[in-house]
Each structure stands twice: as C-alpha cells, then as structure tokens.
Structure 1
C-alpha cells in the first residue's frame, strides 16, 4: 500500500531561522509517530542545507532576457544588486543559525541527516528508540522560536517584531489569493470577506487580521471598509502591484523574499 504524506504543523516563523533544506523534514507520513526509515528515498539525507544562489552571470542573462535590449545595462545592474543582496542575507542567516547552535551546545549541521539530529536536540523533533536502531519520529515544528532558541533579551524583542511582520505577510498572501478569484480590473480588485475568514485562510488570530490590514493600508495601499453590522469587510486591492509584492504561496525565506 502506498504511503500517504502530509505537511507537519509548522510555526511559519521557522522559515527565517532554519536552513532551506529543513522543508524536506516538514513532509511526513500520515501516521504519527513514524520510523525515520520512512523518509529513506524521499529525504535527500546527504544534501547540503542552504540554497545555492548559482552564478551571478546566469542571473544577469535571465534578467536581460526579460527586458528589451535597450534596457540591457539596467537589467544587468539590477540583477547584480539583487544577487549581492541575496548572498549577503544568506550569509547572515547561515552565521545566525550557527550561533544559535553554538549557544545551545549543538554541533552545527552540514547535511540534512545532521540537521534532523540538530533539530531533535533543540526540541523540534522527538526521536525515541525503535526496532533495529530505526528511531521513531514525532515533529514538534509548531513550537515557537521564542520558546526554543537561546535568544538574548534584545534578540527576543526583534523576534517578536519579526513575527508580527510574518503575520502581516501571511494576511497579505490570503488577501492576494482572494483577489485573484475576483473580476479582473486593471488598477484595483474589490472583494468581500470577514476578518474570521481571513484569519482561517492566513492561519492567524482574528485580532492579527485587523492589525495586519491596517499595516497593509500603509505599506501597500490596501483599502479596508466595514460594511454592515455583521463584521463584513470590503477590501480594495491595488492591482497588479499587490500581486507582485506578495506572490508567495507561503512565508518565504528572507533571501527569497524579493
């Protein structure tokens, strides 16, 4: 019988902390706990942890193909700036994750196999003895980084702020998904919804929806109007600017956010 797979419950903010390859470990069998060997042939255990940005010249060529020839120089400049920014953010993330491991007394992992052991030590997976040395696995990826990572007081404050930003992006993604289903207009798309519906779609609390919509009004010119006494909202979404600003299916890693 073929195995059925699902996504493990995940605190979205881990995408900012963990190496890109951790997403392999978020796809799990539908029965918990499961044997680590169930991942064999599915998880690339020996793969490196961080995405390779590739060669900058490839970025330039792709950018130039998308632009008229007369914009070739501008496209190259933009591609090189974007590449440098991505490499810098990636390096900062690698250093920060390594620092968290060192503070927790965990060896810095270099492969997906080592990453599972690292995350188990941090408390994001439970590994218990199984038959023939094949441990049983239970994910705990729904834990909050604030409850797991050895953060300083200043870092905790920054993380709390970053998590608020994460929730705003998740609400923006939900708004974009709803707007994509509405009648096509050039400058704006208008949709009706409720804060509860947006909260369910975004995976956040209702009060976070109200706060996030206010922020998106300032950041992305989203217009919000309450209609009726039942809490229904009318959203006017600038289009296609909003779609281009929040094209992601889920919260992206920082180096992939632009």
Structure 2
C-alpha cells in the first residue's frame, strides 16, 4: 500500500488490506471478503472514533485536565480535517461518501483504488490498486497536487526514521547504541523505497532532526548505493520517535 493513503482513506481501509499477496496486483473474487473467518466489520463506521473526552481523562492519570483536553482537541481537529478532505474528493468524483466498511468498498471501486472486473462464471472480481500513488488517482487541483507532493516528501523522511530504528534494533538488540551502519540500498530495502528515493529521504531527515546526522566526510549526494557509512542517532530516541512499523493516520500520531 502506498504510504500516503493513510492520510486520505478512512481508518477502516486496514480491514481491506487483508488480501492475497501475489506477484503483481492481487486479483480475487469480491466474495472473498465475505469469508466468515475474516470477521470484517462490514457495518461499522469507517472512521475511528476518539470517544468522549471523559474517557481520556480516566486513561491519563498524572496529566492535568487542560493537557488532556488540548491533546483531545488536536486529535479531533486532525480527524475532522481528514473527513472533510475525503468528503470533498468523493464529491468531486460524484460518488456517495461511505459511512460503513461495506460502502467503502464501492467507494474505492469508484475512485479506482479497487478495480472491479468480471471473473469466471460472471462473478465480480477485484484488483487492488493500493500501491498506486494518490497523486495519480485522486481528483486534485494543481495546488493540491503540489501540496500532496510536498507532503509525500516529508513522509519519506519519516520512513527513513522508521528504517533507521529497525536497523538500530538489529545492530544493537540490547539498546543503548549511538550509531547505525547502513547503505542506501539496505535502508531502501527496509522501507520500500528505491536507493535514489532513500538518498533524498535520508537527506531530509538529517536536515529536519538535529539529533540525526550523517558521519563527517560523507556526502549523501555522491555516496555509492552499496557504500557503507554511519548515521549518528541515539537508539533510544529512534525507538521513541519512530516506534511505528509504517506510517499511520495523522490523528494517531499526535
């Protein structure tokens, strides 16, 4: 799945990622989703519900009410922005806004994130296009497309951080390390980016995070794809800041 879809699609899309893992676009009967063992929440809302703020007070001992309420308000605001943006995309495409997981399947077919075709015996089959870039699928204005491209660059920096954390865990399982050995190709394999894209992502995160630095004498613009070098970063901080395995929805990162 293209990492940027987590900013656009409702959280319930995670249930629809449980598809056969084949070489190339997975193709399977639409009825596959109805297998009882999957237990898909067909009639549940597609957006995560943060619940009432009172529950947040109960789950946050040691924090002041103002701190908890401020955090809650930020999460709700980010969630609201995502819902409004997705609603606008649906409106432009002339399709109903999905409220349940069952409706989300039809919505994604209409958007082109899922392709529906006729399979053997006239049965409806699906082809997933989750790997497609939202820039190539969504009805964006030129300004929105430019903003999306910029957002994707920032996301690549986060992916680089996730990759560094994984490599740090491999190299120092007991924690406490301060450096990470890598090559652009090795880090790219870890985060699903080409070495060229990894070069840019690593350059971005080193510029954005003062505590992550490329070893002296290494130029990211010219270092070879398989040339080993060192990134200086505190392993414990990598584990704290980049503790996810992939990008997650903005409201869940606050």
Band of TM-score, shorter chain: 0.7 to 0.9
Residue 179 (1) aligns with residue 168 (2)? yes
What's the CA shift for 1:103?
Answer: 0.4
More divergent stretch after superposition (37-46 vs 170-179): 37-46
**Residue of structure 2 equivalent to 1:215:** 204
Residue 37 (1) aligns with residue 31 (2)? yes
More divergent stretch after superposition (89-98 vs 136-145): 136-145
Structure 2: state its 5+ residue gaps: none
More relative contact order, 1 or 2 (CA 8 Å, 6+ apart): 2
More strand by share: 1
What is the CA RMSD across the aligned residues, in angstroms?
Answer: 2.2
Distance 1:102 1:213 in 2: 37
TM-score, length-normalised on structure 1? Answer: 0.85
**Residue of structure 1 equivalent to 2:227:** 231
Residue 168 (1) aligns with residue 130 (2)? no
Distance 2:50 2:148 in 1: 26
What's the CA shift for 1:176?
Answer: 0.7
Residue 242 (1) aligns with residue 238 (2)? yes
Distance 1:39 1:166 in 2: 30
What's the CA shift for 1:27?
Answer: 1.0
Residue 55 (1) aligns with residue 44 (2)? no
Distance 1:23 1:92 in 2: 19
**Residue of structure 2 equivalent to 1:22:** 13
Structure 1: state its 5+ residue gaps: 1-9
**Residue of structure 2 equivalent to 1:197:** 186
Distance 1:129 1:211 in 2: 42
What's the CA shift for 1:247?
Answer: 1.3
Residue 138 (1) aligns with residue 127 (2)? yes
**Residue of structure 1 equivalent to 2:81:** 92
- Would the alpha carbon gap of residues 134 and 52 (structure 1) be closer, same or farther in structure 2, given more than 3 Å must change? farther
Give 3-state SS (helix, strand or coil) of 2:171's partner.
coil
Distance 2:227 2:169 in 1: 22
- Would the alpha carbon gap of residues 115 and 132 (structure 1) be closer, same or farther in structure 2, given more than 3 Å must change? farther
Distance 1:58 1:217 in 2: 38
Distance 1:189 1:113 in 2: 47
More divergent stretch after superposition (191-200 vs 215-224): 215-224
TM-score, length-normalised on structure 2? Answer: 0.87
Moved over 6 A (4+): none
Give 3-state SS (helix, strand or coil) of 1:90's partner.
helix
What's the CA shift for 1:193?
Answer: 1.1
Q: Is the 8 A contact 2:165 2:235 kept in 1?
A: no
Per-residue Cα deviation, 1:127-155 (whole angstroms, up to 9, x for no partner): 12357874111111111111111111110
Distance 2:200 2:208 in 1: 12
